[in-house]
Structure 1
Amino acid sequence: MRKILGLDIGKKKIGIALSDLLGMTAQPQCTIRSKNLDEQIEKILSIIKENNIQDVVVGLPKNMQGEDSEQSIWTKGFVDKMLEKNNEINIIYIDERFTSKLALSNLSHMNMKKIKDKELIDSLAASSILETYLRQKENGVR
């Protein structure tokens, strides 16, 4: 069994989440903050190596019609650059249209201070993306 990595990819910040070894739960981990694409990719690849990750779940921000948005096209380009450096990982795209709202809702229930909210939003969004995948996998949906 291996952990699964969840990513909420933005141009300046990337939320990171990891599953447990059984692939049952998703936990927010951290947010990578960098405007340097190569630095972002290296940090992700380091997490992949440290945790022996094979499957990476990536949130794909589609528009409300379910079509690729400007950000989803950028996200796919980011993933392509990551695959150039490590083509042994398996990428799974998940529609992330509502994960940020879910992450904000989770924060409001946690009664976190405003400053800490900004630190957690991206990793919680990554956790929501990964949780969506884990539930779909559990229910036989791909």
Structure 2
Amino acid sequence: MRLGIDVGSVRIGVARSDPAGILATPLETVRRGKGDLDRIAELVAEHEAVEVIVGLPTSLSGRSGPAAAQARRFAEALAGRLSQLLPDGGVRLYDERLTTVTAEAELRRSGVRGKARRQVVDQAAAAVLLQAALDGERLTGRPPGEIVRGSS
């Protein structure tokens, strides 16, 4: 089982895969800030995750900006926090271009509006991200994205 993480400045969307790593579904929204790494570590342990995929927000041109740097720092801190639960390579960064836009569109199409959509959009974006990583791995036969080394 794998977790997908969509890191925002206020909220963190979390999704999970099925045990076979075929289908991603929304799981939870975690408030960003004090205790967020601990909550994600609890989810890793609770769901017996073997890998965490963190979204790397890259521009359409492929360039990394401030949001990408923030996601990279978060992923490094998370890898450090999870070092006892996951072996090296257990946290990866994966290109998340347009995941929130895709999640918003899917929620709109399914009739989820207003406050209800804001409450789940981060989880939905994490599910889009994780599904893309799972599909990419299945197509290429290679693990998704890049391995993140932990920082303390």
TM-score, normalisation: structure 2: 0.85
Correspondence 1:27-106 to 2 at 5 A: 27-36=25-34, 39-87=35-83, 88-89=86-87, 90-106=90-106
Aligned to 2:134: 134
Task: Select the residue among 6, 14, 17 that pairs with 1:19.
Answer: 17
Aligned to 2:123: 123
Task: Note the C-alpha offset of 1:19.
Answer: 0.3
SS in 2 for 1:48: helix
Segments of 5+ residues of structure 2 without an aligned counterpart are: 145-152
Q: Deviations over 1:89-108 (max 9, x none)?
A: 51222111110110011101
Task: Count the aligned residue pairs.
Answer: 138
| Cα distance in structure 1, aligned partners of 2:14 and 2:110 | 19
SS in 2 for 1:72: helix
TM-score, normalisation: structure 1: 0.91
Task: Note the C-alpha offset of 1:138.
Answer: 1.3
Aligned to 2:148: none
Q: Which moved more, 1:41-50 or 1:66-75?
A: 66-75
Aligned to 1:4: 2
Q: Deviations over 1:11-69 (max 9, x none)?
A: 22000000001111000011111332xx1100000000111112111110012221221
| Cα distance in structure 1, aligned partners of 2:122 and 2:131 | 14
Q: Deviations over 1:79-130 (max 9, x none)?
A: 1112222223512221111101100111011101311000110000000000
Identity of aligned residues (%): 25
Q: Which moved more, 1:77-86 or 1:112-121?
A: 77-86
**Matched residue type, 1:103:** A
Task: Note the C-alpha offset of 1:10.
Answer: 1.3
CA RMSD of aligned residues (A): 1.3
Higher helix share: 1
Segments of 5+ residues of structure 1 without an aligned counterpart are: none
**Matched residue type, 1:136:** G
